[in-house]
């Protein structure tokens, strides 16, 4: 959603208990695959900076820093509940230079606990008008369905995540929210922990005219999962060209992220 934000004004005191704790150490390749998996059965905390270049008439650069922790909860022996809150602090150079919070999103996925190759999950997504200024958010309360399916086979990981948001309350003068988000994911993960990843985050705004409705980035990321002492983490960087974008959008974006992984709990 960071790239979508750059285009248009679009946790608790005690850590949660993981759904289950691995009894053996994970390999570097397994850690790399876990970076991409939205249904991972342990806590992970990705922090990502997305910089958009050539924004607006003056071709300025804007940036957003997003944190989207994955918090798994075991409901019983058959089902897990995955919570994914997402909050962004953004710098927007145009139309008025400002820095602040964007709207908070939170997704919930109910997913089978015992699946390993094909994994699916579905649930609701909520968006709250927490933005610190009108240009950084929608001013509306929104909700809708979200779902994902992922597949792992050896070094390969693939998946598809989607949601649809529609506004139901808030400042009606701001206009309605009616947006579809689609995120295909594919990565190849080496035994050394290095991986290559294609992860375009696409949106379609049903309230905009056809020329300004699509946001379609295309590019790739490269990263590595590893351990520093007892802490597992990954570092990743990539660049994406925006093949389709609304007026005033950046022409391309660069993403840099660090993901803290907790396969053995806290």
C-alpha 106/C-alpha 81 separation (Å) is 13
Encode pLDDT of 123-148 as tens digits.
999 999 999 998 899 999 999 999 99
pTM: 0.87
DSSP 54-114: EETTTTEEEEEEEE--BEEEE-SSSEEEEEEEEEEEEEE-SSS-EEEE--EEEEEEEEESS
**43 and 70 Cβ atoms separated by less than 8 Å:** yes
The pLDDT of residue 247 is 84
C-alpha 11/C-alpha 104 separation (Å) is 13
Scanning the structure block, which residue is given the tokens 């080496």?
190
Encode pLDDT of 84-129 as tens digits.
999 999 998 887 889 999 999 999 999 999 877 899 999 999 999 9
**188 and 156 Cβ atoms separated by less than 8 Å:** yes
Helix (H) or strand (E) holding 203: strand 202-205
- The total number of structural domains in the chain stands at 1
Give the pairing of strands 156-170 and 140-153.
antiparallel
The pLDDT of residue 51 is 96
Nearest of 124, 214, 118, 193 to residue 160 by alpha carbon: 118
Range of the domain at 115: 2-262
* Per-residue 3-state assignment (H helix, E strand, C coil) for 113-178: CCCCCEEEEEEEEEEECCCCCHHHCCCEEEEEEEEEEEEEECCEEEEEEEEEEEEEEECHHHCCCE
The pLDDT of residue 266 is 58
Radius of gyration of the chain (CA): 18
Q: Averaged in consecutive runs of 10 residues, what is the pLDDT profile of the chain (266 residues)?
A: 42 38 70 94 96 85 95 94 96 87 97 89 97 91 97 95 96 92 97 96 94 94 95 96 90 96 82
* CATH number for the domain that contains residue 147: 2.40.160.40
């Amino acid at each position: 959603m960071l790239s979508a934000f750059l285009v248009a004004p679009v946790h608790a005191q005690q850590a949660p208990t993981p759904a289950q704790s691995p009894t053996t150490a994970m390999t570097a390749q397994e850690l790399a695959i876990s970076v991409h998996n939205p249904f991972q059965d342990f806590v992970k905390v990705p922090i990502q900076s997305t910089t958009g270049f050539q924004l607006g008439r003056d071709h300025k650069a804007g940036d957003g820093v997003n944190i989207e922790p994955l918090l798994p909860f075991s409901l019983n022996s058959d089902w897990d509940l995955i919570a994914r809150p997402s909050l962004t602090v953004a710098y927007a150079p145009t139309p008025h230079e400002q820095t602040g919070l964007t709207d908070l999103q939170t997704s919930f996925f109910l997913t089978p606990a015992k699946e390993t190759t094909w994994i699916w999950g579905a649930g609701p997504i909520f968006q709250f008008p927490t933005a610190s200024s009108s240009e950084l958010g929608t001013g509306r309360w929104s909700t809708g369905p979200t779902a994902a399916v992922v597949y792992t086979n050896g070094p390969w990981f693939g998946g598809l995540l989607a949601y649809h948001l529609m506004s139901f309350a808030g400042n009606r003068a701001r206009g309605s929210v009616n947006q579809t988000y689609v995120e295909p994911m594919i990565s190849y993960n080496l035994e050394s922990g290095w991986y290559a990843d294609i992860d375009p985050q696409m949106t379609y705004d049903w309230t905009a005219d056809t020329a300004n409705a699509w946001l379609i980035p295309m590019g790739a990321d490269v990263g590595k999962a590893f351990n520093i002492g007892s802490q597992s983490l990954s570092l990743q960087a990539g660049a994406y060209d925006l093949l389709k974008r609304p007026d005033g959008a950046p022409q391309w974006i660069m993403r840099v992220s660090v993901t803290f992984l907790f396969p053995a709990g806290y």
